[in-house]
Amino acid sequence: MNDLGPEARSLLEAARGAETPTRVDRERIKHAVALRVATVGAASMAASGAVAMTVATKVTVAALTVAVLGGGSASLWAWKAHTAAPPAALHRAASRHSASRTPPALPTRPVAEAPAVMEEPRPKPLLPEVRRREVVRGEARPGGTVSLPVAESAPSPALDSLDPELTVLRQAQEDLRAGLPAQALRRLAEYDRRFGKGTLNEERRAIGAIALCQAHPGPAAQAQAERFLRSAPQSPLAGRVRSACQKPDETAKQSNEIAPGREP
């Protein structure tokens, strides 16, 4: 091949090793990746060891799962206060949460010579093929259902396009905050129509249970909340569902328990 001249070589040499990200850049981008992982509900992958991460990263992912759907850091702190959990409990919660999402029947890879980077057996994640197909349901996105391993396949634009799902769920959350649960339910109906059992289906079900409990409190709402709590008992959103869908007698009981400790 034709060689480059000395000046061109000098320019290229200058480019090597130059313009590297600072430590702050690295942390910021890593944090952003964790945020996106959280938005696709992949906390279970990290916590269950589908992909090995440090404990700190797992905690970030688990916390962000709640923060994203809760609308930001304020709701994250509210959630932490509600559960009164110490920081270490966040990691335990993430691990427990993973159990509710990890498909039980998937084969695991052999781990006979588990090196340091492995923490536990890793089930093959569902996200790359199965969930991507769910995301593109009803929408023509060429290449969205490629199922070859990454070494032979191209990352698809559909892989990273969860914004539409997230947007609808955020709007529903805003409706709930504004005291418009009926409007939130209409948004969720739109979610079902557009995405079916989308990638954020668990979060959609949690918001749906809360909205129903606010809009039409009663046996039907209670049943929906209980179904959600049975299927995802360790979801980071379970506490909110319990809180929103408490039966009247439980609320009264709690009030009685709290009352003796109050200052007169």
Which chain residues interact with other proteins by CB under 8 A?
Answer: 1-5, 7-8, 10-12, 14-22, 25-26, 28-30, 32-33, 36-37, 40, 42, 45-46, 50-54, 57, 109-115, 117-118, 122, 124-125, 127-128, 149-151, 154-155, 157, 159-160
Nearer to other proteins, 9 or 247 (CB): 9
Return the bridge partners of 123, or none: 108
Nearer to other proteins, 124 or 247 (CB): 124
CB of 251 to other proteins, least distance (A): 41
**Among candidates 183, 179, 129, which has minimal Cα distance to 158?**
129
CA distance 5 to 226: 72
Query: Is 213 exposed, middle or buried, given 0-12, 13-18 or 19+ CB atoms closer than 10 A?
Result: buried
Nearer to other proteins, 3 or 249 (CB): 3
CB of 237 to other proteins, least distance (A): 22
Mapped onto helix, strand or coil, the DSSP state of residue 115 is coil
CB of 38 to other proteins, least distance (A): 11
Nearer to other proteins, 23 or 230 (CB): 23
CA distance 188 to 169: 7
The dihedral sign for the CA sequence 14, 15, 17, 20: positive
CB of 37 to other proteins, least distance (A): 6
